Amino acid sequence: MGYDRPVSCLRAVLAAAALTRSRRSAPGARRRGCPHAALATASVLVLTGLPGLAGVTAAEAQLRAGAAAVDITPELCDDAAPDDEPQQFDAARGCFRWVHLGGFSPYVPFRDDSRLAAGIHDPIWARALALEDASGDTVVILAADLPGLGRKHTGPVRRRVAGTHGIPAEHVVLHSTHTHSAPDGSGYWSTLMRGHNARYTRQLREWLYAAVRDALAAMQPATLRTATTTHPSCLDRATGAAKSDPDCRLPAINNEIDDPRAGYDRFLIQRDLRDPIVRNTRIVAAELTAEATGETIATLVNWHNHPDTLGSANRLISSDYPHYLREYLERTRGGIAVFVAGTVGNQMSGLRSTPVPLWDESGRRAFETSPEEVRRPVLVTDGWEKIRSTGYEIAHAAGRALDAAVPVPAPRVAVATARFETPVDNVIHLLGTWSVWHHDVEPEERLRYRWPDCWGLLGCVQGEVSLIEIGDLSILTAPGEIDPAYALGRPESVADYGTAWGTWRFPAMAGVDHLMPGRHHAFIGSAQDYLSYLMPLSDNTGWWNFDHPNHYEEWVTIGRRFGEDVRRAWLHLLAERARRGPAAAR
């Protein structure tokens, strides 16, 4: 294919003398792994893994950490092409003749515009971070560069980890970064594909398990540092200077931003494509360094943009900006970088030519001086330069914040999990995602049917959320794309959509961020499953109103109540945490 690709896994097995780092080899070489109580309405909640309260001394509280990365890029044949006429997989050569890229549109046979890969820009990965505290409580966080990762795949992998390593399945978090330039790992984009992408996903399960296994095997005594920061997120309308929240002056409704009388600032790096505008520009980072050598084991970064920067026109396999974010951190800090996407719902994105400060390949930001003698960043609005610049910008901010962080004393690990059932009542899923629910699904992941709330064609799907505490860092997970308002809240606002649609009132919402324990608060979406968008019931315009100016999520979300069911489960976890008082995690 004429490209270079890293083929050795990024090993986190730190000997006392050195850290094995990633390297590149000749094109075409490959290597995969390395040694190294009830809620209201239809929600049925089950809590597991509530942490104990017993404290330990600093001397006793030795954290151990390990990380691993496994390449999950599909092997393309030398003559692979964006042509779905031949059989997809060449068994004789062990490679794919063509691969469909999920994230935007599903695969549809006989369409000329299907998103079939024309090559590989950068490899995609399953990257795992394993942490164990002095009491033996363990959590594993894995991020896979996939549009989605369905429960029918994560469930068997988590049970296998539990059976082999003795770790509760609830303590194994399998997350998809939601890149829009990779094969489907959920089923939503491959229902109409012959075999439903099973050739890839069967191997994917092995790769996911290998990443978890290798991270656990690599654990060693470690020091934890945590940090929260932000990034430039708007351009001053008058001067063009970059500013950060909360100094950005933006409207609540998208159609107001260009009103010259208001003088609103312009979006930078991140924009909210759906009303009302609620952005989350928080960057939360954690760094684990080896006690024996001081070398970096892993860096975990949580941020909140869709990895869809090039749009649907891209035909190259890629992890999007997470590739460059991780590359920057590994080049400047060492170890293995793990990126987890957070509140990307509401279409938090860099699409529609949203500008980004330009970073060159060496990792330097470019500046210019305006006619008014204001120093401002050079901006890029499209292409791979934009993807690189987005990744470098977020990685640089995370790195600077970690440089100022101090070790967390006696960090503890605690995981509490809640399960709920939510109806699958969206017409697109009733008609077009059969394979998600019925192909290669084990009993534990099958749909639930009960009267009266789970009695439709597809009944209910089981969802799962967790509250994870790692020292002074707390993380909430959800099995879909989280609207930032669920996390941070929002004020009341009203949109005017003209004579055709009239006005729409968006009521104020209280987020859960202020209820979370610890100093640093992160959110991981698309964890354990991919069920699409979480959206408030008050905002739902109806899936059938395709021409409504504030319509899209309604068409693809799993059901009208999904977001509210996740929120109730979160609140239940947080209330239980508050009732029990401060846990040993601190």
Q: Write the pLDDT tens digit of every residue in 469-498.
A: 999 999 999 999 999 999 999 999 999 999
Joined together, the tokens standing for residue 87 give: 């059989």
Residue 228 has pLDDT above 50, yes or no: yes
* pLDDT at residue 44, rounded to an integer: 38
What 398-402 contacts at long range (C-beta under 8 Å, 24+ apart), as own/partner pairs, is: 398/227, 398/229, 398/283, 398/285, 398/299, 398/301, 398/329, 399/285, 399/328, 399/329, 399/332, 399/333, 400/229, 401/227, 401/228, 401/229, 401/283, 401/285, 402/225, 402/227, 402/285, 402/287, 402/299, 402/333
Q: Minimal CA–CA distance to 132: which of 213, 65, 225, 58?
A: 65
The answer for residues whose C-beta is within 8 angstroms of residue 248's C-beta and 6 or more apart is 233, 234, 265
Q: Mean pLDDT throughout 569-585? A: 85
- Which carries the bigger pLDDT value, residue 478 or residue 347? 478
Q: What is the pLDDT of residues 513-570, one digit of tens each?
A: 999 999 999 999 999 999 999 999 999 999 899 999 999 999 899 999 999 999 999 9
CA separation (Å) from 251 to 217, 258, 538?
A: 50, 10, 20
Contact 338, 129 (CB under 8 A): yes
Residue 1 has pLDDT above 80, yes or no: no
Place of tokens 């890149």: 179
* pLDDT at residue 545, rounded to an integer: 93
DSSP assigned state of 52: P
Helix (H) or strand (E) holding 297: strand 296-303
CB atoms inside a 10 Å sphere around CB 462: 20
Q: Which of 50-59, 330-339, 380-389, 413-422 has the lowest mean pLDDT?
A: 50-59
Q: What is the pLDDT of residues 166-203, one digit of tens each?
A: 999 999 999 999 999 999 999 899 888 888 999 999 99
Q: Name the 3-class secondary structure at 183.
A: coil
CB atoms inside a 10 Å sphere around CB 383: 11
Helix (H) or strand (E) holding 119: strand 119-120
Q: Minimal CA–CA distance to 469: which of 432, 429, 414?
A: 414
Q: What is the pLDDT of residues 87-124, one digit of tens each?
A: 999 999 999 999 999 999 888 887 777 899 999 999 99
* pLDDT at residue 5, rounded to an integer: 33
Q: Mean pLDDT throughout 216-242? A: 95
Please name every residue paired with 96 in a beta bridge, in sequence order, or none if there are none.
76, 89
Contact 276, 252 (CB under 8 A): yes
Residue 8 has pLDDT above 50, yes or no: no
* pLDDT at residue 457, rounded to an integer: 87
CB atoms inside a 10 Å sphere around CB 264: 17
Confidence category of residue 61, pLDDT binned at 50, 70, 90: low
Distance of CA 436 to the CA centre of its chain: 20
* pLDDT at residue 24, rounded to an integer: 30
* pLDDT at residue 584, rounded to an integer: 42
Phi, psi angle pair for 389, to nearest 5°: -65, -35
- As a whole number of angstroms, the distance between CA 267 and CA 248 comes to 9
Preceding peptide of 276 cis, ω within 30°: yes
Q: What is the pLDDT of residues 401-426, one digit of tens each?
A: 999 999 999 999 999 999 999 999 98
- As a whole number of angstroms, the distance between CA 87 and CA 105 comes to 21
Contact 283, 229 (CB under 8 A): yes
Confidence category of residue 297, pLDDT binned at 50, 70, 90: very high
Phi, psi angle pair for 50, to nearest 5°: -65, 135
CB atoms inside a 10 Å sphere around CB 431: 10
**H-assigned helices in 83-135:** none
Place of tokens 């996390």: 487
- As a whole number of angstroms, the distance between CA 521 and CA 516 comes to 7
Confidence category of residue 218, pLDDT binned at 50, 70, 90: very high
Q: Mean pLDDT throughout 1-29? A: 32
- As a whole number of angstroms, the distance between CA 24 and CA 22 comes to 7
Q: Mean pLDDT throughout 37-66? A: 50
Residue 216 has pLDDT above 70, yes or no: yes
One-letter amino acid identity for 202? R
Instruction: List, in sequence order, every beta strand (DSSP E) within 324-444.
Output: 336-341, 348-349, 356-357, 367-369, 375-377, 379-380, 413-423
- As a whole number of angstroms, the distance between CA 75 and CA 534 comes to 34
* pLDDT at residue 287, rounded to an integer: 98
Place of tokens 């026109």: 313
Q: Name the 3-class secondary structure at 151.
A: helix
Q: Domain residue spans in the chain?
A: 5-73+124-580
- As a whole number of angstroms, the distance between CA 28 and CA 63 comes to 39
The answer for residues whose C-beta is within 8 angstroms of residue 90's C-beta and 6 or more apart is 77, 96, 97
- Calculate the average pLDDT of the chain: 88
Residue 39 has pLDDT above 70, yes or no: no
Please work out, in degrees rounded to the nearest 5, the angle formed at the alpha carbon of residue 318 by the alpha carbons of 556 and 380. Answer: 90
